[in-house]
């Protein structure tokens, strides 16, 4: 079991209000991802759940019990840090065994659990090494091993993959997703990475300046962003936001259209423009196009599309995929 | 070319370091050599570098006149006890300043250091009176406490510096792993800080062993450590260079040996923060 409920959680550092007032429900077994710009309070929120920071006010319920005043050791949660935070003076075996030792588990049980975790994480051959003798990916696996042995109510991850190179990150992403499927334990995961958020999450929480902007499944956020902030934050390259809307698209203060929802043509279309930059990725081509009276627009064409800088181009937005926002930035539905 | 220059440089440095080291070590060497001379040879002019007549007489004489082993025992108790006591107080203090600092932490550190800026003689009278009223004069307990107190600021500073080098993430991970405070300190903080703690301990033992102001002023016969033992040889009856040297040699020998065998640890600890 591991449901987490935050009620009116507020956090102030000195004079600075970092989290004004957060309400959030995380269901048992859910994979929840916190995303948001740097400094928006993702880590702070995670550390409040962990107990590494005290709430200024509000309640944090784990399985229905308010733990806001409990120290981290009593909350039954595991955490994986960006820096791995392994104990450098202990072997990999002792690192993984440490939480069990703290819980007073017997020697035999510790040994069998450590062996099991090590084989799940492909660490069996490394148990007698020190963390300093491992690669970044292996260290991260040890950190995960240390987190899973004690069978916590929930796992907390703070940007666990951001110190790894791109290939390893992709692989670890899949391993963590598989781990979640096997263990079916609640996971709360903080990341900067759009791909991690979209691929791993059951539920994404978008934070901005300590406030929750929107909570939903990845595709809900992608297809129906509740406001301009979420529209601009989720999706890469980001949604084109046009204020005011171009002629013929009235009825909203701002309209948004994702790059892939724009049909490109060299002959005819709704908006004429001129290619400023063309990025050929092979699988896709991104165009940054200057449009008179509208501004710069990013469009995405599948596969190769033979246009280069300076070429004239016509664009037509898919009318069903146009997002409309009012003067306050709220989505009009 | 560059290589020749660097070899030359290396030699110059080596020679320089040797000269400086010998200059520093010379008084100690001279003391040790003098302790093996007869009283007559000790005051020869021009002085003889090596004893013309090697003798152990000074040592036996010193031991029979004033009980070396009693003073030695007192020194061990005072230096060891004050160091241990200082560490017990300083570890939690440094822990809290390093890992949960407040706005005042820096001020508190400065204040602690500032207590070392006042000359000890400035507080001699009040301390003497307090000791007298509490019946602590000439007791091992009293000396242990006063030496602990005078070295405590340095011990806290040193430990604070070493603790600052330990990533706070690791301690937080330890808390998440279910460790209560004392387990966090015993299983994670202390093992990671071993080099720092060891060098703090060594330095403090050396400082306490050699401390003379308080040990001389607050003891008579009962609790006198080796510093008082040396001082007793510069007595009104006149100076006996050879015996004074023998007493000094016996007094510094233990700490010299300790320093010699732990020099690697000491150097590593003292440069720990600097190089990282
Ligand atoms: N101990 C602290 N004392 C004072 N301010 C803090 C403290 N910890 C965090 N803050 C402030 O709180 C805000 C949120 O920080 P937090 O680390 O939660 O951001 P984040 O969303 O995790 O950012 P990033 O993506 O860069 O990791 C920042 O403005 C930060 O400066
Ligand atoms: Mg962060």
Mean pLDDT of A116-123: 92
Tell how far the Cα of B175 is from the centroid of ligand 2, in angstroms. Answer: 19
Tally of structural domains, chain B: 1
| Angle made by CA atoms B51, B54, B59, in degrees to the nearest 5 | 110
Query: pLDDT of B102-150, one tens digit each?
Result: 889 999 999 998 988 888 888 999 999 999 999 999 999 999 999 999 9
Whether B29 is covered by a domain: the verdict is: no
Which candidate, A214, A209, A220, A205, places its Cα nearest to that of A37?
A209
Supply the pLDDT for residue B194: 85
Supply the pLDDT for residue B216: 86
Q: Are strands A240-242 and A254-257 parallel, antiparallel or unpaired?
A: antiparallel
Closest ligand by atom to A45 CA:
1
Query: With 80 as the cut, is the pLDDT of residue A132 above it?
Result: yes
Domain map of chain A by residue range?
Answer: 4-230, 238-325
Supply the pLDDT for residue A200: 95
The residue whose CB lies within 8 Å of the most ligand 1 atoms, and thus the one to mutate among A11, A19, A22, A43, is: A43
B83 Rama sector, left if φ>0, alpha if ψ -120 to 50, beta otherwise: alpha
Query: Which value does ipTM take for this structure?
Result: 0.87
CA distance A153 to A3: 8
Mean pLDDT of B233-258: 83
Mean pLDDT of A169-181: 93
Instruction: Please state which of the ranges A316-325, B160-169, B255-264 shows the lowest mean pLDDT.
Output: B255-264
CATH superfamily, domain A4-230, is P-loop containing nucleotide triphosphate hydrolases (3.40.50.300)
Tell how far the Cα of B40 is from the centroid of ligand 1, in angstroms. Answer: 76
Q: Which ligand 1 atom minimizes the distance to the CA of A210?
A: 14
Query: pLDDT of A69-113, one tens digit each?
Result: 999 999 999 999 999 999 999 999 999 999 999 999 999 999 999
Whether B115 is covered by a domain: the verdict is: yes
Whether B172 is covered by a domain: the verdict is: yes
CATH architecture of A238-325: Beta Barrel (2.40)
Q: Which ligand 1 atom minimizes the distance to the CA of A45?
A: 18
Which candidate, A278, A262, A261, places its Cα nearest to that of A312?
A278
- List of residues 6+ apart from B196 with CB closer than 8 A: B158, B159, B161, B162, B163, B165, B269, B272
Tell how far the Cα of B188 is from the centroid of ligand 2, in angstroms. Answer: 24
Query: pLDDT of A193-246, one tens digit each?
Result: 889 999 999 999 999 999 999 999 999 999 999 999 999 999 989 999 998 888
Beta bridge partners of A158: A190
For A280-318, b/e burial (b = at least 16 CB within 10 A) is beeeebbbbbebeebeebbbbbeeebebeeeeebbbebe
Mean pLDDT of A54-66: 96
**pTM of the model as a whole:** 0.81
CB spacing of A73 vs B179 below 8 angstroms = yes
Give the structural domain span for B158: 68-232
The residue whose CB lies within 8 Å of the most ligand 1 atoms, and thus the one to mutate among A12, A17, A22, A41, is: A41
Would you tell me which residues 69-108 of chain A have a C-beta closer than 8 angstroms to some C-beta of chain B?
A: 71-73, 77-79, 81, 83, 85-89, 98-99, 102-103
CB spacing of B176 vs A77 below 8 angstroms = yes
Instruction: Please state which of the ranges A113-127, A135-149, B218-232 shows the lowest mean pLDDT.
Output: B218-232
CB spacing of B173 vs A85 below 8 angstroms = yes
Supply the pLDDT for residue B158: 92
Whether B142 is covered by a domain: the verdict is: yes
Whether B84 is covered by a domain: the verdict is: yes
Supply the pLDDT for residue B3: 62
Query: With 50 as the cut, is the pLDDT of residue B206 above it?
Result: yes
Whether B26 is covered by a domain: the verdict is: no
Supply the pLDDT for residue B169: 92
Supply the pLDDT for residue B275: 37
Mean pLDDT of A130-141: 92
pLDDT band at B264 (very low <50, low <70, confident <90, very high): confident
Supply the pLDDT for residue A67: 96
Mean pLDDT score of chain A = 93
Q: What's the CATH code of the domain at B125?
A: 1.10.3720.10
Query: pLDDT of B187-204, one tens digit each?
Result: 999 899 888 888 899 889
> In this structure, are residues B35 and B242 in contact, taking their beta carbons and an 8 Å threshold?
yes
CA distance A318 to A256: 11
Supply the pLDDT for residue B234: 72
The shortest CB-CB distance from B192 to any of A52, A77, A89 is to A89
Instruction: Please state which of the ranges A155-164, A318-327, B63-72, B175-184 shows the lowest mean pLDDT.
Output: B63-72
Query: With 50 as the cut, is the pLDDT of residue A156 above it?
Result: yes
Supply the pLDDT for residue B116: 85
A104 Rama sector, left if φ>0, alpha if ψ -120 to 50, beta otherwise: left
- State the residue for tokens 């806001």: A68
């Amino acid at each position: 079991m591991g449901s987490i409920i935050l009620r009116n959680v507020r956090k102030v550092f000195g004079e600075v209000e970092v989290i004004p007032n957060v309400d959030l429900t995380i269901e048992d077994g859910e994979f929840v991802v916190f995303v948001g710009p740097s400094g928006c309070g993702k880590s702070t929120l995670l550390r409040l759940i962990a107990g590494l920071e005290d709430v200024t006010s509000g309640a944090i319920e784990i399985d229905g019990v308010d733990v806001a005043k409990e120290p981290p050791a009593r909350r039954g949660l595991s955490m994986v840090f960006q820096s791995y935070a392994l104990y450098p003076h202990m072997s990999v075996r002792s690192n993984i065994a440490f939480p069990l030792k703290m819980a007073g588990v017997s020697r035999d049980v510790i040994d069998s659990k450590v062996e099991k975790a090590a084989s799940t994480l492909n660490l069996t051959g490394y148990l007698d090494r020190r963390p300093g003798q491992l690669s970044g990916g292996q260290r991260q696996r040890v950190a995960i091993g240390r987190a899973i042995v004690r069978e916590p109510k929930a796992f907390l991850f703070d940007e666990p993959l951001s110190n790894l190179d791109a290939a390893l990150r992709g692989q670890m992403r899949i391993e963590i997703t598989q781990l979640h499927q096997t263990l079916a334990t609640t996971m709360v995961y903080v990341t900067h990475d759009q791909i991690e958020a979209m691929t791993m999450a059951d539920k994404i929480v978008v934070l901005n300046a300590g406030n929750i902007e929107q909570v939903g499944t990845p595709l809900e956020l992608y297809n129906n962003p509740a406001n301009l902030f979420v529209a601009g934050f989720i999706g890469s390259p980001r949604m084109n936001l046009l204020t005011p809307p171009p002629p013929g698209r009235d009825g909203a203060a701002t309209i948004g259209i994702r790059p892939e929802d724009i049909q490109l043509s060299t002959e005819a279309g709704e908006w004429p423009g001129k290619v400023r930059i063309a990025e050929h990725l092979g699988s896709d081509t991104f165009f940054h196009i200057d449009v008179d009276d509208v501004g710069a627009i990013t469009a995405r064409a599948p596969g190769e599309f033979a246009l280069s800088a300076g070429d004239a181009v016509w664009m037509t937005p898919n009318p069903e995929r146009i997002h409309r926002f009012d003067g306050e930035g709220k989505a009009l539905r | 070319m560059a290589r020749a220059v660097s070899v030359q440089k290396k030699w110059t440095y080596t020679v320089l370091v040797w000269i400086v080291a010998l200059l520093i070590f010379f008084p100690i060497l001279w003391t040790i050599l003098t302790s093996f001379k007869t009283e007559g040879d000790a005051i020869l002019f021009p002085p003889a570098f090596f004893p013309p007549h090697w003798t152990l007489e000074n040592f036996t004489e010193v031991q029979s006149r004033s009980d070396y082993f009693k003073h030695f025992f007192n020194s061990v108790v005072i230096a060891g006890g004050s160091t241990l006591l200082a560490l017990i107080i300083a570890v939690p203090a440094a822990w809290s300043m390093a890992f949960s600092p407040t706005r005042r932490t820096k001020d508190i550190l400065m204040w602690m250091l500032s207590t070392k800026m006042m000359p000890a003689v400035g507080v001699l009278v009040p301390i003497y009176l307090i000791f007298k009223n509490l019946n602590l004069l000439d007791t091992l307990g009293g000396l242990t406490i006063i030496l602990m107190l005078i070295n405590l600021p340095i011990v806290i500073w040193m430990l604070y510096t070493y603790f600052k080098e330990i990533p706070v993430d690791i301690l937080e991970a330890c808390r998440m792993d279910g460790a209560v405070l004392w387990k966090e300190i015993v299983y994670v903080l202390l093992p990671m800080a071993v080099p720092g703690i060891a060098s703090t301990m060594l330095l403090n033992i050396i400082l306490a062993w050699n401390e003379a102001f308080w040990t001389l002023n607050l003891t008579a016969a009962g609790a006198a450590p080796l510093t008082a033992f040396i001082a007793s040889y510069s007595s009104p009856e006149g100076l006996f260079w050879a015996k004074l040297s023998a007493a000094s040699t016996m007094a510094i020998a233990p700490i010299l040996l300790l320093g010699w065998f732990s020099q690697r640890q000491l150097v590593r600890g003292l440069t720990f923060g600097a190089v990282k």
